[in-house]
A and B are shown apart, each in its own frame.
Chain A
Amino acid sequence: MAGRLVTLDGNTAVADVAYRLSEVIAIYPITPSSSMGELSDEWAAAHRKNLWGTVPNVTEMQSEAGAAGAVHGALQAGALATTFTASQGLLLMIPNMFKIAGELTPFCMHVSARTVATHALSIFGDQSDVMACRMTGFAMLASGSVQEAHDLAAVAHMATLKSRIPFLHFFDGFRTSHEVAKIMTLGDDDLAALIDEKPIYEHRARALTPDHPVLRGTAQNPDTFFQAREAGNLYYDACADIVRDAMDKIGERTGRKYKLFDYAGHPEADRVIVMMGSGGETAHETIDHLNARGEKLGLVKVRLFRPFSLADFVASLPKTVKSIAVLDRTKEPGAIGEPLYQDVVTAFVEASESGLWTGPVPRVTGGRYGLSSKEFTPAMVKAVYDDLKSDKPRRHFTVGIRDDVTHLSLPFDTTFDIEPDDVVRAVFWGLGADGTVGANKNSIKIIGEETERYAQGYFVYDSKKSGAITISYLRFGPRPIQSAYLVQRAGFIAVHQWSFLERYDVLEHAMVGTTLLLNAPLPPDQVWDALPKEVQETVLEKKIEIYTIDAVSVAKSVGMGGRINTLMQTCFFALAKIFPREEAIGYIKHAIEKTYKNKGPEVVKKNFAAVDAALDFMFQVPVPGRVTATRARPPIVSEKAPDFVQRVSAMMLANKGDLLPVSAFPVDGTWPVGTAKWEKRNIALDIPVWDEKICIQCNKCAMVCPHAAIRVKVYDQESLKDKPETFKSMPYKGNEFKGDAYTVQVAPEDCTGCTLCVEVCPAKDKANPRHKSLEMAPQAPLRAPERDNYGFFLDLPEAKRTRVALDVKGVQFFEPLFEYSGACSGCGETPYIKLATQLFGDRSIIANATGCSSIYGGNLPTTPYTTNKDGRGPAWANSLFEDNAEFGLGMRLAVDKHGEQARELLATFGTLVGDELCAAILAADMSDEAGVEAQRERIRLLKDKLAGSDDPRAKWLAGVADYLVKKSVWIVGGDGWAYDIGFGGVDHVIASGKDVNLLVLDTEVYSNTGGQQSKATPKGAAAKFAVSGKAAQKKDLGMLAMAYGNVYVARIAFGAKDVQTVKAFQEADSYPGPSLIIAYSHCIAHGYDMAQGLAQQKRAVETGYWPLYRFDPRRVAQGESPLKMDSNAPKGKLVDFSRNETRFRMVEQQDPTRFKELSDSAQADIHVRWATYENLAKAMTPAGAQQNPTKEH
């Protein structure tokens, strides 16, 4: 295909080149690079061919280390290989990168540069990951825009073939990888003309083959290693010329010219910035603006960072330069300066000495900017130049933040704005689930591809998975758009969710005359009065025109369900004045036809109707000349919130976290727990309402709630004295709390409206069984009274832990210490975590693998893990994705060591402490709540006694005394961790015999990165990298663990059998060795309404898709088989389960024959597996034992 003008994002632009120039692609998903691998897989599945007419082999590996190993092998065997990665993934590749470079192997990898986790993880962009690879011997080539990323991807492939130096081509994660822009692509003809095939033949000739064998990977010794390491120097010396040549060829062919160091700006500039990546585009745009106003500024965009060509670098600079600021998008704590800065300083020393630079050496300063996608704006660029102009420029600085601790930051003028008026700029506030982003991408495509205009889109997401907010920033202009930063002033602002007006400063980007489009659930004449005071004030001040549409109602009336995206997009087109309205509508309809033509005429018709309806039902809102609102935006958090939440969390919640200074933050990333409770998100349209008259007090609603937003309490009647008017209660029905009162209470502002509690509620009105004890009702009218009721409920006394029966019902009276997380509405994972915190939260340490559970567990602004009234609760940490089992084991080793020291010391303190107390502490039975409570009391006594002693060992003992109370170490993560990247660690840790509890939240797919297959993915399911349905069986992790014999293993599904779930958690905790719980977790990646999650879990268990069992090695001593099946033999057909989920049905829709084959085969597997378990249970029964091994007890 010839090159053409298209709109696409940076990842697509890069993958498009890499795919066509590769034969083997080995990848592993990691944000923000994942889509490059996914696209490659989709293209391969669609039989797209590479430049040489063959479909590349795309393989997903178990980790980035695996992907690097696989490409290394492919390269050794003579293939053209590539991979895509970022951040920790890139770090995992480093060992192979040294090898690949040391072996002078032509290879190009593409990296969407992302922050390396330090005090915190961040999925966003900076260059800390690529900078960590400087020593590997890879050439490093940087791109600053989508077009560049596309072109330089080709340069990198061309140059690696010729130079034999492997290339790391990188571009800023999110900013470039996810920015949608209009670019001219390189056609196959271009690539064919650019790629010299001679080096490919040479690469093949060097391949490992038995037909002319060689040996690589020798071990060398002091006599030879050094010289051999120097033997490849000439290749590095030649590399820069080769890259320059490749850039020149692209320039000749396309007119798009690049240099190793591209200079932009005034030919006689006195001040110059040197930098890499997307920030260079912003700097370029800014100096054009400033130079036009009389400044003499210059900019060097570094393309080829390694090998660093001294001659090219100094040649790129004007001789007039007096001062240089080098900007690094990374941080190297403890270094004299960041890497690029150090290179520039060194370059001038060398260039001066060698005569390459003849004038006076300019003053060089170094600054950090843009860490973790921190905005880098023209105002910041100007601040850097301004500082260079000052009498005493700062040698080292930061820009973009306010550093009030070390005072390194440059001040910048937030009102400085250079965006030209001929660029249309629009900002859209939407939900992650309302289609806003998709519609905007579509608008960019329409405008970018149907008109001469250039287009740019960038999308910002919040960190939640339910009710997530997206802000889309769109630009359309007559020239290529260089602005690599968010829109600062917008002529068009759309607010797709009415509730945002109350929570966010949505007019932050408004300018005089901005058009505001609202999706309001109100008639047009009521809209003005319903706006908060702040909004009305800004509207009047900036003369904003308001338009409104009740998009949800209109969408429903035209048969679009609640989908508002087409309507809102149409309104944008009608109002944005990019082209005449009729023409705009024509473009939309044309796009709809193109998108939906294969999906049936009725779908096209419906969308057309939506377009027409949008125009009919969009109205201008009359704006009176004065503020009429009496209501201001409510405070972000309650005034009762702790100081830190008021000062820090509230700012982040208001979308103003950028304004927080350095001093606001802990120095080591430590964050307080229990902050989620202060964020009242109000995202549920409907919430459950409790009818106490028919409740049977089973507590299942509380058990299944993913967000701890429906709770139960049993408490004394006395407490009801001052109850709010609408607070409900009923007499408790059981004997254990006879005479007490009972309440089921919803947290109206925390509920996400998933309906799982209603689905599970078994209590029906006998006269009208359609009515259940829990039913959904609109949240708005209930919000205020239920908020009061919930507040009252929380203040009610907790049931005494020692009095509660440890069954499904009883444990729900334990306070959840994991609440209101940002997990998806209806999440299938969080109920397990919540249960664990109810049972052992006050004595738990949690190691959490990176993934969904670390994101909803620890992604700021708020933290869902919390404490009880005694201040105890789970202590939680995330290390990495791959090391979580080891991380948790380390915690166990520490806890054990502390406990051991405490016991050792205690034994020597008999006199001071009292022999009786010592003995009681050492012999404490902590197998139940009463035992734990009694021991805590003993430790309190112990500490009191120790406090009076001046023996230094007493202080030491007091410091570790709390470890004499049993601690439960939980190692939590998803199947991507346990089955794939962390399996080695999981295996080692369960083999250690140590008392750790592994909880695998098995969604059978990489959920957090968007549904890539893992080894937990079942046969027959479609997932990314298994588009046509996975052919291999799911790995039987439980069976592998059982093989050790001394590991407690349970396979559970709370929606199918909560009794077994609760038992499994208790047994895992009590088992004095390693425990592994494999927990079925329904997930949005399965493709169905999560309200049906529990019903699907039941079907999964009934059909034998997910058999339940507990393998408890302790049973052997009792003469029983350790393995007990907890579900019945498979019944019914697997397809009764699988057809309900898109992941399976999608296979049928692609290829019914394959679906049948895979289904039949999976059905057969079910029976084999069941028989295997049954036989295993029998075979493991100790000789002479007389019982049915498969029967539940």
Chain B
Amino acid sequence: MDLRTRYLGLDLAHPFMPGASPLADDLDHVKRVEDAGASAIVLRSLFEEQITREKARTLEDIESQQNFAEANTFLPKPDEFHVGPVEYLEQIRKVKAAVKVPVIASLNGTTSEGWLSYAGLIQQAGADALELNVYHVATDPEETPDHVDSRIVNIVTELKKSIQLPVAVKLSPFHSAMAHLARRLERAGASGLVLFNRFYQPDIDPEALEAVPRLVLSDSHELLLRLRWLAVLSGGSPVSLACSGGVHTTLDAIKALMAGATVVQMVSALLHHGPFRIATVREEVGRWLEQHEYESLDQLRGSMNLARCPDPAAFERANYMRILQSWRD
């Protein structure tokens, strides 16, 4: 079965790849993921804070003025000193040299400030595309939805001024006008959307009275939210769509593709089952398509989106009503 896919202008052998995660931190891991057949490698996000705050902190530490009679400095002054996350750029170079598949770098931030200049360095380092993860929690009651959206659009606009790389925007599911936002991003030059990022949800330690970050791996339940918005957006948008979050089984993957996903990213499934989960899903999706007499993946892709599915209301408000009804029944 021909599973070839074009994502962000990149020609891929198939739609299955690891999502942005520490999976790509280690070169051995990266090779294992490639051996498992990943069609691209998505690197872990480089955070704005890493670029700005750490840089500021390091500069401060190095230049910290603690002048005593006996010592004016407390740390050596190295000749070669890279301020900022050079290791990330170095990792891009290394991964790029180690694998044949495209390498997608990832930046995570919320402002249009100086850190975006790192996108240029990421491009220079050889990344094939950039995934921009805008992880903004709108806690300020004075911040309007439009401002929240514009923040993301502005970042994309700024980015596209300085780099030629295709840019995918990884969004959170909590936008009041998702479809409109998608349209604005497309106009700002985004080549793709990744649906959705998963928050590190804070948990509460009741003994210590502290909020503690907790990482819970996804399961297939989380797919449903993605399916809805893939279905909504894939009908009307020419941009690539990646499904990220909740794909664990072959059927999950098929549903995501039917809803309109261009590609499917997996993290939790790979952490659970190992990198060869990609190979399994790829193989089984191919078999499934054959068994169900699809001619190609493209025939299936988007077949259940808002524009084409037999029951579009299911993805809209009626969906909610029906489910409530069924509970009552």
* A1152: B residues at CB distance < 8 A: 86-87, 90
In the complex, which of the residues A437, A561, A598 contacts B67, with contact meaning CB atoms closer than 8 Å?
A: A437
* B67: A residues at CB distance < 8 A: 432-433, 436-438, 459, 461, 468, 470
Q: Given contacts A1087-B75, A1142-B61, A1142-B62, is CB(A601)–CB(B114) below 8 Å?
A: yes
Asked if A434 is at the interface (CB within 8 A of a chain B CB), the reply is: yes
- 11 inter-chain pairs at a CB distance below 8 angstroms, sorted by A residue, are A34-B71, A45-B76, A438-B63, A461-B69, A600-B114, A601-B117, A769-B210, A1022-B75, A1024-B76, A1084-B74, A1149-B81
* A174: B residues at CB distance < 8 A: 69
Q: How far is the CA of A951 from the CA of B74 in the complex (A)?
A: 61
Distance (whole angstroms) from the CB of A1170 to the closest CB of chain B: 24
Asked if A314 is at the interface (CB within 8 A of a chain B CB), the reply is: no
What are the interface flags for B63-105 relative to A under an 8 Å C-beta threshold, 1 for contact and 0 otherwise? 1111111111111111111111011001000000000000000
Q: Which 4 A-B pairs have the closest CB atoms?
A: A1010-B71, A46-B79, A769-B209, A1152-B87
Asked if A602 is at the interface (CB within 8 A of a chain B CB), the reply is: yes
User: B83 touching A42 by the CB < 8 A rule?
Assistant: no
* B81: A residues at CB distance < 8 A: 598, 1146, 1149-1150
Closest to A1011 in B: B74
Q: How far is the CA of A1024 from the CA of B74 in the complex (A)?
A: 8
Q: Give me the interface of A with B, judged by CB distance under 8 Å.
A: 31-32, 34-35, 38, 41-42, 45-47, 123, 174, 432-438, 459, 461, 463, 465, 468, 470, 561, 565, 598-603, 764, 766, 769, 855, 1007-1011, 1022-1028, 1084-1085, 1087-1088, 1142-1143, 1145-1146, 1148-1153, 1155
User: A461 touching B68 by the CB < 8 A rule?
Assistant: yes
Q: How far is the CA of A435 from the CA of B55 in the complex (A)?
A: 19
* B72: A residues at CB distance < 8 A: 35, 437, 1010
Closest to B63 in A: A438
* B86: A residues at CB distance < 8 A: 1149, 1152
Q: How far is the CA of A866 from the CA of B60 in the complex (A)?
A: 37
Q: How far is the CA of A461 from the CA of B78 in the complex (A)?
A: 26
User: B78 touching A1146 by the CB < 8 A rule?
Assistant: yes
User: B68 touching A468 by the CB < 8 A rule?
Assistant: yes
User: B66 touching A1008 by the CB < 8 A rule?
Assistant: no
User: B76 touching A42 by the CB < 8 A rule?
Assistant: yes
User: B59 touching A603 by the CB < 8 A rule?
Assistant: yes
Q: Given contacts A438-B67, A468-B67, A769-B209, is CB(A602)–CB(B75) below 8 Å?
A: no
Q: How far is the CA of A1023 from the CA of B74 in the complex (A)?
A: 8
Asked if B58 is at the interface (CB within 8 A of a chain A CB), the reply is: yes
User: B83 touching A766 by the CB < 8 A rule?
Assistant: no
What are the interface flags for B143-177 relative to A under an 8 Å C-beta threshold, 1 for contact and 0 otherwise? 00000000000000000000000000000000000
Q: Given contacts A601-B114, A764-B209, A1150-B80, is CB(A1145)–CB(B58) below 8 Å?
A: yes
Q: How far is the CA of A1043 from the CA of B320 in the complex (A)?
A: 73
Q: How far is the CA of A599 from the CA of B52 in the complex (A)?
A: 11
* A434: B residues at CB distance < 8 A: 65
User: A1009 touching B71 by the CB < 8 A rule?
Assistant: yes
User: B59 touching A1085 by the CB < 8 A rule?
Assistant: no
* A1008: B residues at CB distance < 8 A: 70-71
* A602: B residues at CB distance < 8 A: 113-114
Q: How far is the CA of A1023 from the CA of B76 in the complex (A)?
A: 6
Closest to A464 in B: B68
* B82: A residues at CB distance < 8 A: 1149-1150
Q: How many chain B residues touch the partner (CB < 8 A)?
A: 38
In the complex, which of the residues A38, A47, A433, A1025 contacts B66, with contact meaning CB atoms closer than 8 Å?
A: A433
Q: How far is the CA of A1026 from the CA of B117 in the complex (A)?
A: 32
User: B209 touching A123 by the CB < 8 A rule?
Assistant: no
In the complex, which of the residues B63, B66, B75 contacts A1143, with contact meaning CB atoms closer than 8 Å?
A: B75
Q: How far is the CA of A46 from the CA of B79 in the complex (A)?
A: 6
Q: How far is the CA of A1027 from the CA of B209 in the complex (A)?
A: 42
User: B65 touching A565 by the CB < 8 A rule?
Assistant: yes
* A1022: B residues at CB distance < 8 A: 75-76, 78
Q: How far is the CA of A1028 from the CA of B60 in the complex (A)?
A: 19
* A598: B residues at CB distance < 8 A: 81, 83
What are the interface flags for B198-232 relative to A under an 8 Å C-beta threshold, 1 for contact and 0 otherwise? 00000000000110000000000000000000000
What are the interface flags for B162-195 relative to A under an 8 Å C-beta threshold, 1 for contact and 0 otherwise? 0000000000000000000000000000000000
Tell me if A's interface is mostly helix, strand, loop or mixed: mixed
Closest to A1083 in B: B74
In the complex, which of the residues B66, B75, B114 contacts A1142, with contact meaning CB atoms closer than 8 Å?
A: B75
Q: How far is the CA of A1022 from the CA of B114 in the complex (A)?
A: 29
Known: A461-B67, A1009-B71, A1153-B90. 5 other contacts (CB 8 A): A41-B76, A45-B78, A123-B69, A432-B66, A1149-B81
In the complex, which of the residues B70, B74, B77 contacts A31, with contact meaning CB atoms closer than 8 Å?
A: B70
* A1009: B residues at CB distance < 8 A: 70-71
* A1085: B residues at CB distance < 8 A: 74-75
Q: How far is the CA of A603 from the CA of B114 in the complex (A)?
A: 10
* A1155: B residues at CB distance < 8 A: 87
In the complex, which of the residues B60, B74, B114 contacts A1007, with contact meaning CB atoms closer than 8 Å?
A: B74
User: A1088 touching B61 by the CB < 8 A rule?
Assistant: yes
Q: How far is the CA of A1095 from the CA of B83 in the complex (A)?
A: 25
User: A1011 touching B71 by the CB < 8 A rule?
Assistant: yes
Distance (whole angstroms) from the CB of A547 to the closest CB of chain B: 23
Q: How far is the CA of A1011 from the CA of B210 in the complex (A)?
A: 36
* A437: B residues at CB distance < 8 A: 65, 67, 72
* B79: A residues at CB distance < 8 A: 42, 45-47
Closest to B77 in A: A42
Distance (whole angstroms) from the CB of B56 to the closest CB of chain A: 8
User: A1010 touching B73 by the CB < 8 A rule?
Assistant: yes
Q: How far is the CA of A1151 from the CA of B81 in the complex (A)?
A: 8
Q: How far is the CA of A602 from the CA of B84 in the complex (A)?
A: 13
* A855: B residues at CB distance < 8 A: 70
User: A432 touching B209 by the CB < 8 A rule?
Assistant: no
* B80: A residues at CB distance < 8 A: 46, 1150-1151
Distance (whole angstroms) from the CB of B275 to the closest CB of chain A: 22
Q: How far is the CA of A543 from the CA of B64 in the complex (A)?
A: 37
Q: How far is the CA of A35 from the CA of B69 in the complex (A)?
A: 12
Closest to B79 in A: A46
Q: How far is the CA of A47 from the CA of B61 in the complex (A)?
A: 24
User: A1011 touching B75 by the CB < 8 A rule?
Assistant: yes
Q: How far is the CA of A1148 from the CA of B61 in the complex (A)?
A: 14
Closest to B87 in A: A1152
User: B61 touching A31 by the CB < 8 A rule?
Assistant: no
* A465: B residues at CB distance < 8 A: 68
* B69: A residues at CB distance < 8 A: 31, 123, 174, 461, 463
Distance (whole angstroms) from the CB of A1030 to the closest CB of chain B: 11
User: B83 touching A599 by the CB < 8 A rule?
Assistant: yes
Q: How far is the CA of A766 from the CA of B60 in the complex (A)?
A: 37
Q: How far is the CA of A1022 from the CA of B117 in the complex (A)?
A: 29
Closest to A434 in B: B65
User: A1149 touching B58 by the CB < 8 A rule?
Assistant: yes
User: A1084 touching B58 by the CB < 8 A rule?
Assistant: no
* B66: A residues at CB distance < 8 A: 432-433, 1084
Q: How far is the CA of A798 from the CA of B64 in the complex (A)?
A: 41
Q: How far is the CA of A1146 from the CA of B82 in the complex (A)?
A: 9
Q: Given contacts A461-B67, A1008-B71, A1152-B90, is CB(A600)–CB(B55) below 8 Å?
A: yes
Q: How far is the CA of A437 from the CA of B65 in the complex (A)?
A: 8
* A600: B residues at CB distance < 8 A: 55, 83-84, 114, 117
User: A433 touching B65 by the CB < 8 A rule?
Assistant: yes
Closest to A762 in B: B208
Q: How far is the CA of A600 from the CA of B115 in the complex (A)?
A: 10
Q: How far is the CA of A904 from the CA of B58 in the complex (A)?
A: 64
* B113: A residues at CB distance < 8 A: 602
* A1027: B residues at CB distance < 8 A: 76-78
Q: How far is the CA of A212 from the CA of B68 in the complex (A)?
A: 51
* B62: A residues at CB distance < 8 A: 1142, 1146
Q: How far is the CA of A599 from the CA of B247 in the complex (A)?
A: 42
Closest to B76 in A: A1027
Closest to A1026 in B: B76
Distance (whole angstroms) from the CB of A1010 to the closest CB of chain B: 3
* B61: A residues at CB distance < 8 A: 1087-1088, 1142
